[in-house]
Amino acid sequence: MSTVALSSHVSPRRLGQLFLREIAHGYRGLLVAAAAVAGSIIVIAALGALGRNMGGAPDGTVIGDNYWFYFQGLLFLGGCIVTSMAFREVWQGGGGIAYLTLPGSTLEKVVVKLLLTSAGYAVGALVLISATASVSEALDRLVFGVGHGFFNPFTPAVGQSVVRYVVIQSFFLLGSIWFRKLAFIKTALSIMVIAVALGILAGIALRIGVGPHLTAMGTGFGPGNGTGTMRFGRWSFQMNGTGLQDLFKPGSRGFAGLEAFKVTAEALVIALAPASWVAAFYRLREAEV
Amino acid sequence: MSFGYGRKKLFSGLDLELAPGNIYGLLGKNGAGKTTLLKLICGLRIAQEGTCRVLGYDPAARPAPMLEDICFIAEELAVPALLPRVYESLYAPFYPRFDHGELASCLKELEIPVDRKLSELSYGQKKKFLIAFGLASRCRLLLMDEPSNGLDIPSKSQFRRLLARAGGSDQVILISTHQVRDMENLIDPIIILDDGKIIFSQSMQAVGARLSAGIEPTEPADDRVLYAEKTLGGYAVLRESAGEEETTVDLETLFNAVTAPDGKVRAVFQAAVEASPSPSTPEGGAR
């Protein structure tokens, strides 16, 4: 690709200007939302601490990691809602005309929206929850003598959550350019329909593959504590069929196959993120208003 | 170029070439496809057949260097909740030839309040701001869709003044309008779109040279009459010019005559085109 051709697709000047434009357009709404989230967390945490204090909890009691829960909600639910609105302006009459004729390549426009709604949003959520948790903890311990524990943004679990968020939000980014209206709801429903369809297909495949060994079988995330439960990381398979446990016992071909399936499935899900980015690029390139 | 919505063809074999240094007027009946043509030119719609080249680029790909040289002021306006100076600081850097002094001058002339957010302005004020921004962008292709709609009477005069002094030798301005009276003596050449085709594309000089216009008290019946319509004070009459002194042809009469079903006026210009050698493509134009 020649320098001229490359500069027509990516220019640092235009990228910087597109970032500034996005921030200038959205910062006020995001600040209001952030203030509402922070306020709600502080109030709910204070009510919890007050309850424990009135219940006679001694000073210095730590009553659970609530901020982790808030972080997950803010990251996944809030992030997917914000991402679903990323390309909303394309479908808003005059807004679409202004955005699509804005001097910037399709690649630059997608990259800017992607970075802001994925990494940008995740960093923002981490900063917001860390700051809110610090203020909330300080207040609760000072006033009620009871806290919830500080939020640590530097744990491996936070990193894993951010990676999972980037994968999931990529579907919502595609949904925001694909659907003209109600992008969040339509994307969530689409994901559910696809998941149910894949589940049915997997069930049929398993029934065909290991049917003769099967009397009852359940799969799910979580610890799994029934008879014949086998664990693969976060996955657990509960197998109560005669001979099925032998088929998938550690070291067997079945066990190795299941492990390979799990790794392949996770890799495929992760690969769906860049696939969604590419699909979003082509969808925006072909958008007509 | 061909284009349609669904199965309905809007343009079929449309052929148009624009040369720099002109302020074109794009006229047509409702639903003729004026706005769609502007959208095709700037890449908001994609031609289904044929080719479209704008400033040397394929507009369907919406390349950034092409967009840096195009400004489209649509009838449907969208402005953010920003002060004019903030808007200028955010959007002007996208246009390499942006003239900040020209914007300040246009805003002053159009009397746009600069201390209020754009979203709080009236429709006419928003439109005037975007026209001022478009003129200051110094884009080589400026497209305007019904720019005088929503402007009050003084604003229309101000708009005409601004547009008259705009339009550099390398610039194409294409104005789609129904308000021909607002654009009289400003748009030249005239392009008329009808039934999916460009049925007329002539400079006003060519119109004046080939047609003779006048108001007559009674309905004319001679053979040279190409078109006559009843108007206040008599009949507006167009005749084929027989070498007499050039007259100014009223745009509304011209439009009605060109789109008349008998096609007599069109035939006069068609005959002239067939008699003259084909013109060469102007450098840097839009086709």
- Looking at the fold, whether B237 and B118 belong to one and the same domain comes out as no
Residue in B44, B68, B86 closest to A97 by CB: B44
Cross-chain Cβ contact A103/B94 below 8 Å = yes
What number is the ipTM of this complex?
Answer: 0.90
Distance CA B228, CA B225 (A): 7
In a domain, B225, yes or no: yes
Statement: residue A228 has pLDDT above 70: no
In a domain, B27, yes or no: yes
Distance CA A29, CA A186 (A): 23
In a domain, B280, yes or no: no
Q: What was the pLDDT predicted at B144?
A: 97
Domain borders along chain A are 3-180
**A to B CB pairs, distance under 8 Å:** 74
Statement: residue B117 has pLDDT above 70: yes
Look at A2 and A58; give whichever has higher pLDDT.
A58
CA distance A16 to chain B (A): 10
Tell me how far apart the 2 most distant CA atoms of chain A are, in Å: 73
| Long-range pairs of B103-110 with CB within 8 A, sequence gap ≥ 24 | B103/B132, B103/B133, B103/B136, B106/B131, B106/B132, B106/B135, B106/B136, B106/B162, B107/B132, B109/B158, B109/B161, B109/B162, B110/B155, B110/B158, B110/B159, B110/B162
Distance CA B205, CA B236 (A): 19
- Considering only CA atoms, which of B61, B80, B96 is closest in space to residue A21? B80
pLDDT cut 70: percent of chain A above it: 84
Compute the average pLDDT of residues A67-94.
95
Domain count, chain B: 2
Task: With both helix axes pointing from N to C terminus, report the angle between A121-143 and A156-178 in degrees, rounded to the nearest 10.
Answer: 130
Residue of B nearest to A97 (CA): B44
Statement: residue A124 has pLDDT above 70: yes
Q: What was the pLDDT predicted at A261?
A: 84
From B201, B231, B260, give the residue that closes a domain: B201
Statement: residue B280 has pLDDT above 60: no
Q: For B59-106, how does the pLDDT look when each residue is reduced to its tens digit (9 = 90+)?
A: 999 999 999 999 999 999 999 999 999 999 999 999 999 999 999 999
Residue B245's pLDDT band (boundaries 50, 70, 90)? confident
Residue of A nearest to B67 (CA): A103
Q: What was the pLDDT predicted at B281?
A: 43
Residue in A9, A89, A102 closest to B94 by CB: A102
Q: What was the pLDDT predicted at A227?
A: 52
DSSP state of A248: T
- Looking at the fold, whether B141 and B53 belong to one and the same domain comes out as yes
Q: What was the pLDDT predicted at B282?
A: 42
CA distance B176 to chain A (A): 16
Q: What was the pLDDT predicted at A276?
A: 97
Half-sphere exposure of B227 (CA within 13 A, CB side): 26
Say which CATH number the domain at B195 has. Answer: 3.40.50.300
Chain mean pLDDT for chain B: 90
CA distance A133 to chain B (A): 33
- The strand pairing partners of B213, in sequence order, are B238
In a domain, B282, yes or no: no
Task: With both helix axes pointing from N to C terminus, report the angle between A253-285 and A156-178 in degrees, rounded to the nearest 10.
Answer: 50
Cβ contacts of B81 on chain A, cutoff 8 Å: 28
CB-CB contact of B70 with B23 (8 Å): no
DSSP state of B93: G
Show the DSSP H helices in chain B as ranges.
Answer: 34-41, 64-67, 84-91, 100-109, 123-136, 153-165, 180-183, 204-210, 251-258, 264-275
Q: What was the pLDDT predicted at A104?
A: 96
In a domain, B148, yes or no: yes
- Looking at the fold, whether B187 and B230 belong to one and the same domain comes out as no
Residue B224's pLDDT band (boundaries 50, 70, 90)? confident
- Looking at the fold, whether B144 and B156 belong to one and the same domain comes out as yes
* H or E element at residue B173: strand B172-176
Residue in A28, A93, A104 closest to B76 by CB: A93
Q: How many residues does chain B have?
A: 287
Q: What was the pLDDT predicted at A117?
A: 97
Q: What was the pLDDT predicted at B168?
A: 78
Quote the domain boundaries for residue B194: 3-201
Cross-chain Cβ contact A94/B76 below 8 Å = yes
Statement: residue A214 has pLDDT above 80: no
pLDDT cut 90: percent of chain B above it: 74
Q: Are strands B211-216 and B234-240 parallel, antiparallel or unpaired?
A: antiparallel
Q: What was the pLDDT predicted at A211?
A: 66
Q: For B12-70, how does the pLDDT look when each residue is reduced to its tens digit (9 = 90+)?
A: 889 999 999 999 999 999 999 999 999 999 999 999 999 999 999 999 999 999 999 99
CA distances (Å), A153 to each of A46, A110, A130, B15, B159, in order?
A: 21, 28, 7, 61, 57
Q: What was the pLDDT predicted at B61?
A: 94
Q: What was the pLDDT predicted at A240?
A: 54
Distance CA A183, CA A190 (A): 10
Distance CA A261, CA B144 (A): 58
With residues binned 3-state (H G I as helix, E B as strand, rest as coil), the percentages for chain B, rounded to 5, are 35, 25, 45
From B179, B201, B223, give the residue that closes a domain: B201
CA A25-A176-A131 angle, to 5 degrees, is 55
Q: What was the pLDDT predicted at A208?
A: 83
Statement: residue B274 has pLDDT above 50: yes
- Looking at the fold, whether B176 and B213 belong to one and the same domain comes out as no
Compute the average pLDDT of residues B7-12.
90
Which one-letter amino acid corresponds to residue B197?
Answer: K
Q: For A251-289, how does the pLDDT look when each residue is reduced to its tens digit (9 = 90+)?
A: 887 788 888 888 998 899 899 999 999 999 999 999 999
In a domain, B281, yes or no: no
* H or E element at residue B240: strand B234-240
- Looking at the fold, whether B74 and B166 belong to one and the same domain comes out as yes
CA distance A180 to chain B (A): 16
From B151, B176, B201, give the residue that closes a domain: B201
- Looking at the fold, whether B18 and B141 belong to one and the same domain comes out as yes
Cross-chain Cβ contact A92/B78 below 8 Å = yes
Residue A188's pLDDT band (boundaries 50, 70, 90)? very high
Cα B196 to its chain centre, rounded Å, is 17
- Considering only CA atoms, which of B182, B250, B198 is closest in space to residue B28? B198
Q: What was the pLDDT predicted at A9?
A: 82
Chain mean pLDDT for chain A: 87
| Site from A19, A100, A101, A281 to mutate, B interface, most B CB atoms within 10 angstroms | A101
Statement: residue A148 has pLDDT above 90: no
Cβ contacts of B130 on chain A, cutoff 8 Å: none
- Looking at the fold, whether B243 and B102 belong to one and the same domain comes out as no
Residue of A nearest to B96 (CA): A103
